[in-house]
Amino acid sequence: MISESFTFKGKDYVEIFVYKWTPNVDVQVRGVVQLAHGMAETAARYEDFANDLTKNGFIVYANDHRGHGETAGKVETLGELGEDAFNSMVEDMHRLNSIIKEENVTLPIFLFGHSMGSFLTQRYICLYGSELKGVILTGTCGKREIIVDIGRIASKVEIMRRGRNAKSINLNKLIFGSNNNFFKPNRTLFDWLSRDNKEVDKYIENPYCGAVFTAGFFYDFLSGLKSVADAEEIKNIPNNLPIYIFGGDKDPVGKNGKGALKLVKTYEKHGVKDLTYKLYKEGRHEMLHETNKDEVTTDIIKWINAHV
């Protein structure tokens, strides 16, 4: 695998950092996977996954979202995404997609979104779905009305009290605080990510992971979740766009599988014709870092191969 990186100017001229992983010269290139990572992590964590994809002939592009990883620039500015964060990240993804098309004119492009990246991807396909060959969503969920409405109200109050740019431990606890409750007694604060203790520890030890985000981000993100659940927006997803949804049946973000299945039913209702889903028994939030990650990766590549 050949590893490179570059930057491009996203919305509002923010410099967006991108990892690019390319197959070795002896491997025939068959397509491209664009990857959207989750909240409070970095695209660098997907290098092993990219290695498997490149071995199978796929170029991988993965940007660090604004406020994350190398795009944030330094640890102190993690979680600071600026105005209209949710929509800005979606537009950054689209600008990267345009670069990918320029560099790979004839190749099909698949968009892979994990967790926050999956919700960004849900919005992306409402706007630009016709430009993709297929979509993969993981660590995801369908409509979550109560927590979204409560969170938006709480974030408004926090913004009024402390300002948009104040990092909010209270909102962080509100949104994520209950995730570990399913796995007591807890070894760490992040047991909900994976059954693999080594992977959990690597997340904790990574200075670019686990940051507390601003009140403004939480308001923008939760507003974005509300928009992706809007039936009128979902109607804009092309019916012929292949979609693969997978996750763990013990993922608290996906409501232990129920939320992921809710999203499947929503897409079925709106006429998506090529829809595949799979829940992995005992799997938690990060299936690419789970104890059965080899099985998960094999299934992903099998699905992509079927749609090239």
Cβ of 6: how many Cβ atoms within 10 Å?
A: 12
DSSP secondary structure, 158-173, as one string:
HHHHH-TTSB-HHHHH
Rounded to two decimals, the pTM is: 0.97
Task: Quote the domain boundaries for residue 124.
Answer: 2-307
Number of domains, the chain:
1
User: In the prediction, which pLDDT does 174 show?
Assistant: 86
Reference 245, options 214, 211, 218, 272; nearest CA is: 272
Q: Report the CATH number at residue 115.
A: 3.40.50.1820
Q: How far is residue 206's CA from residue 213's CA, in Å, rounded to a whole number?
A: 16
CB 259 within 8 A of CB 144: yes
User: In the prediction, which pLDDT does 134 show?
Assistant: 98
Q: Prior bond to 185 cis, omega within 30?
A: yes
CB 252 within 8 A of CB 192: yes
Mean pLDDT by 10 residues, the chain (308 residues): 97 94 97 98 98 98 98 95 96 98 97 98 98 98 85 93 93 90 94 98 98 96 91 94 98 95 95 97 98 98 97
Kindly report the CA angle at 49 between 127 and 81, in degrees rounded to 5? 50
Q: How far is residue 81's CA from residue 83's CA, in Å, rounded to a whole number?
A: 7
pLDDT digits (tens, 9 = 90+) for 139-165: 999 987 778 889 899 999 999 999 999
User: In the prediction, which pLDDT does 147 show?
Assistant: 82
Question: Could you tell me whether strands 134-138 and 243-248 are parallel, antiparallel, or unpaired per DSSP bridges?
Answer: parallel
User: In the prediction, which pLDDT does 132 show?
Assistant: 98
